[in-house]
Amino acid sequence: MPDTRRSYRVIISGGGTGGHIYPAVAIANELRAINPQVEILFVGAKGRMEMTRVPEAGYKIVGLWISGLQRRLTLDNLSFPLKVISSIRASHKIINDFKPDAVVGVGGYASGPLLYAATTRKIPALIQEQNSYAGITNKLLAKRVQKVCVAYPNMESFFPADKLVLTGNPVRSDIMQLQGKREEALGHFNLSPEKKTILVIGGSLGARTINLSIAEGLASITEAGYQLIWQTGKPFYPQAQTLAAKYEEKGVRAFDFIRTMDLAYAAADIVISRAGALSISELCLAGKPAVLVPSPNVAEDHQTKNAMALVQQQAAILVRDAEAADKLVSAALLLIKDEQEQQRLQQNILKMARPNAAADIVKELIKLIK
């Protein structure tokens, strides 16, 4: 058992997308659950979504002036070396002031400077890699940290084998507690218990291809007698809101962002989703039949690799982004009509769930502190 008598001080750094932020918050919640005395500070990148999402989760965060390198020549790229130097200096000051026992990096711009500064001072450090294809920040940091917690097997091509621990991705604990929530969930979204429901999630920033495909298919979905919970992300939301208003009586609900994801999953019979690492981990734990549309706009096409890990186990259906306009809505309608296929996917996806990910990561962290 962890030593709960000591008040540990831990910095958790990273962010940029929900896929980095929610695992970070889940790790913090687990730390707090086993040791209420723990002191946690988050370090993020100024102007990124972690600067609002982390305080909403009840934690303090400070921001670094840092961003990623763009693939084309931009003014941002010219200032990148200055940002790195400035962020490393700021990280040293944060470490001096907070005096952490250990630091955790979850990927994203801010984790680079913070973990670089911490490891130069021999502070125990751990990184958590969510994807089946490692991010550049984590690959660079792997040589400097003591442990690398991963969500997929066979990650030796990215990280030193002796540092790897297969933990899975930590997700919000409420997603592991969906039993008995369906009635509450349908009431929350003002949906009918007589109809089946499709949940559409394009990641925290939305997914244009999925949104356009759903917009085109709204008539088909509602005419077939199904309801829709549609998370669009901010850019597409005004358009989706106008469309949803036309189909409101038929059970179409559009949101730019859904905070009560446990209720969204509990209401859903099937899910249409991007194949980000966090989305896949949530789907496995929720045990939901899913149609995955991997984003083509990510490094090394890692969302397709994430999706294929499920498809190969007959645990999800894949529709490629380039084919979504023609095939996505029809694939979802075929699945929601076929209860036998839903059961098969559900049984197989549940086998891939790792419900103890946050606890396993925290155990590794406390070993480092000791």
The Cβ-side half-sphere exposure at 205, using a 13 Å CA radius, reads 13
The 10 Å Cβ neighbour count of residue 97 is: 9
Which CATH code for domain 9-169+355-369? Answer: 3.40.50.2000
Residue 2 pLDDT: 47
Q: What is the pLDDT of residue 18?
A: 78
**pLDDT value at position 73?**
62
> Could you tell me which residues are annotated as the binding site for UDP-N-acetyl-alpha-D-glucosamine?
17-19, 131, 172, 204, 258, 303
Specify the pLDDT at position 224: 97
Task: Report which of 359, 362, 366, 361 is spatially closest to residue 165, judged by C-alpha positions.
Answer: 361
Over residues 154-204, the pLDDT tens digits come to 899 999 999 999 999 998 888 888 999 999 999 999 999 999 999 999 866
Q: Give the CATH H-level superfamily of domain 174-350.
A: Glycogen Phosphorylase B; (3.40.50.2000)
pLDDT at 78: 65
> Which residues fall within 8 angstroms of residue 73, CB to CB, at 6 or more apart?
none
Confidence (pLDDT) at 75: 66
Q: Is 314 in contact with 348 (CB distance < 8 Å)?
A: yes
Q: Determine the distance from the C-alpha atom of residue 188 to the mean position of all C-alpha atoms in its chain, rounded to a whole number.
A: 23
Ranges for all domains in the chain classified under CATH 3.40.50.2000: 9-169+355-369, 174-350
- The per-residue pLDDT for range 209-230, each reduced to its tens digit, is 999 999 999 999 999 999 999 9
pLDDT at 1: 46
The model scores a pTM over 0.75: yes
What pLDDT is stored for residue 370 in this prediction? 87
pLDDT tens digits along 341-353: 999 999 999 999 9
Q: What is the pLDDT of residue 344?
A: 97
Compute the distance between CA of residue 152 and CA of residue 165 in angstroms, rounded to an integer: 10
72: tokens are: 């084309």
Is 176:257 a contact under the CB 8 Å cutoff?
no
| pLDDT given for residue 79 in this prediction | 72
Which residue positions in the chain have pLDDT lower than 70?
Answer: 1-5, 68-78, 203-206
